[in-house]
Amino acid sequence: MSLESAATVPLFAEFPFEWNYIRSIIVVSLYVSVAAVALSTLCSLPIALAVGFTDFRGKGLLTSIINTGMGFPSVVVGLAVLFTVSNEGPLGSLELVFTREAMIMSQFVLAAPVVTGVSLAAVSSVEQNVRDAAYAMGGTRLDVALVTIKEARYGIATAVLAGFGRAISEVGSVLIVGGNIASADGTSKTRTLTTAIQLEAQRGRFETAMILGVVLLAIVLVVNGIVVRLGSDGGGYR
Amino acid sequence: MTIQRREFVAALAAGGAAGLAGCSTLTGDDGGDAGISGETLTLTTTTSTYNTGLLDELNAPFEDRYGVSVDAVSQGTGQALETARNGDSDVVMVHARSLEDEFMEEGYGVNRRDLMYNDFVVIGGPNDPAGIGGSDDVTEAFTAIADSESSFVSRGDDSGTHTKELEIWDETGLNVDEFGEWYQEAGQGMGDVINMATQQGAYTLADRGTYLDMQDEVDLEIHVQGPIEGGPELLANPYGIVAVNPAVHDNVEYDLAMAYIGFITSPEGQDLIENYTANGEQLFYPESLSEEPNFQQYVPEGWSADNTGNSSDSSDE
């Protein structure tokens, strides 16, 4: 309610949201997107390495399919996940509809092809002679994989960032499976920055929607900075 | 090789730590619910009750009293009922009697109550190209809009407002499918449609609550008033609340849904509705309390015990 009174005078307030409200939607946005991208990376990286290291019939086709997945319409993914987790669906008994877990599922589906596709391109571009050298030095398959990951780390970091960007900026599927729920005291349950922006825009409050947009951009910028820092030679690991 | 492996493990650990940080904040949020009954009521409702902020006003005292939380999901009336049909919500608050009746006739809804009402208004740009300003006949006004082919934005989303709009076009005898480019189906919520109408100086049918809530943000005027300001009864906008039938979906929180219906149709809940204002104006008018019995609120419109041929079911009404 205090949100209401604060938000109805957006032009006069310095920052037209309760701190609790804004903090909780940032937490939900980050929790859902980071979890989805972490899971995507765990699944996608081995796939990218496996596909990148082997030659087989249909590799080109598989790559095309992965790359097509980058273009999945988020609303369609949202609907598919909704059918799955709905009370009538196969996972209905888990009662996942309108939860953060369902949002993670849909963002996983959206982010995984992006992470896979971009890492695959990065892994494939590592020179064959680098891998050969690793073998020649007596490395196991795991060692060769680690060398390749190290060589391709910028590309893989880009893949993770692209997946994160896809997840955190996406509005269609999280709106459908999450329901954009915030409790009466203004604490977000499944409301993310994007769905909050959409709600503000729907209510004609374009200024507050823009403010939230700037917050979203700032978060993406910070996350990019952290990941680039971790992936660069100037990081704390040397 | 070992050095590189250590780097890899360190990177994994960092990732894991980041993931765990997310988890701990999550459980931190949920911690507040622990120890009390902690059940969650899922309410699907329309954009008009949600976007006006009325629900926050109603839900906070309900949550406090029962120690539960209410997850309110705002959808169009059609989508809200569909979510309930799938058993994904426990109670529905909507405003399209014909769709509510269908919902009950199919057996998905039980214990419907009249909740509150406001009205629809025809709004449009201040220059009023169809010349409908001040009209008290909405059918004539719609005919004038169609005759002058002035831009009109339709919700086009099976919402309560869209249902009402189609009902009015039906009254004019015109066929919506034959309309030209001036008639646009937005397929969006009320707020989006009001924004679109503002951009184009177009007409649209809006519920008074959402219009009043957005009045300061947009450049549109009321051209045809609803019954609250003496306009035609055709523009009345009654809201109903229905619990999802626990015999159809045994996972629904039926007892909680009935507690919620009980609360918002009680004198206290109705007072909250009566006193809720936006921009200094009352948005909704309570309708649940009446000394006279109103049996029609519990059953589909026009339903009577005589025409069902099964009077034993209805004798307890």
Q: What is the pLDDT of residue B271?
A: 96
Is A232's pLDDT higher than 90? no
Average pLDDT along chain B: 85
Is B9's pLDDT higher than 60? no
Q: Do B67 and B39 form a contact (C-beta atoms < 8 A)?
A: no
Please tell me which residue, A236 or B214, carries the higher pLDDT value. Answer: B214
What is the arithmetic mean of pLDDT over B242-271?
95
The string of pLDDT tens digits covering residues A78-126 is 999 999 999 888 998 888 999 999 999 999 999 999 999 999 999 988 8
User: What is the DSSP-derived secondary structure letter of residue A181?
Assistant: -
Q: What is the pLDDT of residue B206?
A: 95
Interfacial A residues in 137-176 facing B (CB < 8 Å): 137, 139, 142-143, 146-147, 149-150
Q: Do B100 and A41 form a contact (C-beta atoms < 8 A)?
A: no
Q: Which residues of B touch A8 (CB under 8 A)?
A: 278-279
A20 touches chain B (CB under 8 A): no
CATH homologous superfamily of domain B38-117+238-314? Periplasmic binding protein-like II (3.40.190.10)
Contact A237 B25 (CB under 8 A): no
Contact A1 B57 (CB under 8 A): yes
Lowest mean pLDDT among B14-18, B55-59, B210-214: B14-18
Domain B119-235, CATH 3.40.1280.10 — does that match? no
Cα separation, B241 vs B208, in Å, equals 19
Top residue of A83, A181, A228 to mutate, by most chain B CBs within 10 Å, is A181
A179 touches chain B (CB under 8 A): yes
Contact B249 A87 (CB under 8 A): yes
CATH of the domain at A89: 1.10.3720.10
Q: B112 by DSSP, 3-state: which?
A: strand
pTM exceeds 0.90, yes or no: no
Is B22's pLDDT higher than 60? no
- Residue among A34, A143, A199 whose CB faces B22 most closely: A34
Domain count, chain A: 1
Cα separation, B285 vs A214, in Å, equals 38
What is the arithmetic mean of pLDDT over B92-108?
94
Q: Which residues of B touch A107 (CB under 8 A)?
A: none
Cα separation, B133 vs A173, in Å, equals 41
Tokens of B100: 């509510």
Contact A180 B23 (CB under 8 A): no
- CA-to-CA dists, residue A110 to A78, A83, A122, B101, B127, angstroms: 9, 16, 19, 38, 46
Lowest mean pLDDT among A58-62, A132-136, B46-50: A132-136
Contact B18 A98 (CB under 8 A): no
- Percent of chain B topping pLDDT 90: 62
Residue A89 lies in a domain: yes
Distance (Å) from the alpha carbon of B293 to chain A's nearest alpha carbon: 33
Sign of the C-alpha dihedral computed for residues A164, A165, A171 and A172 taken in this order: negative
Sequence-distant (6+) residues with CB within 8 A of B302 are none
Domain with A212 in it: 2-230
Lowest mean pLDDT among A227-236, B238-247, B305-314: B305-314
Residue of B nearest to A160 (CA): B15
Residue of A nearest to B18 (CA): A34
Residue of A nearest to B44 (CA): A179
Contact B56 A35 (CB under 8 A): no
Q: Give the model's confidence band at B142: pLDDT under 50 very low, under 70 low, under 90 confident, else very high.
A: very high
Q: What is the pLDDT of residue B6?
A: 52
The string of pLDDT tens digits covering residues A158-193 is 999 999 999 999 999 999 999 999 988 888 999 999
Distance (Å) from the alpha carbon of B223 to chain A's nearest alpha carbon: 20
What is the arithmetic mean of pLDDT over B5-12?
52
Residue A84 lies in a domain: yes
A35 touches chain B (CB under 8 A): yes
Is B257's pLDDT higher than 90? yes
A232 touches chain B (CB under 8 A): no
Residue A205 lies in a domain: yes
What one-character-per-residue DSSP string does A183-233 give?
-TTS-BSS--HHHHHHHHHHTT-HHHHHHHHHHHHHHHHHHHHHHHHHHST
Is B314's pLDDT higher than 80? no
Sequence-distant (6+) residues with CB within 8 A of B3 are none
Residue A137 lies in a domain: yes
Q: What is the pLDDT of residue A66?
A: 93
Top residue of A203, A207, A208 to mutate, by most chain B CBs within 10 Å, is A203
Contact A230 B5 (CB under 8 A): no
Average pLDDT along chain A: 86
Burial class of residue A228 (count of CB atoms within 10 Å of its CB; 0-12, 13-18, 19+) = middle
Contact A201 B213 (CB under 8 A): no
What is the arithmetic mean of pLDDT over A42-51?
92
Q: Of A108, A25, A120, which is closest to residue A63 (Cα–Cα)?
A: A120
Is B73's pLDDT higher than 70? yes
Cα separation, A160 vs A111, in Å, equals 9
Q: What is the pLDDT of residue A160?
A: 93
Beta bridge partners of B122: B205, B224
Delimit the domains of chain B by residue range: 38-117+238-314, 119-235
Beta bridge partners of B44: B73, B92
Residue A238 lies in a domain: no
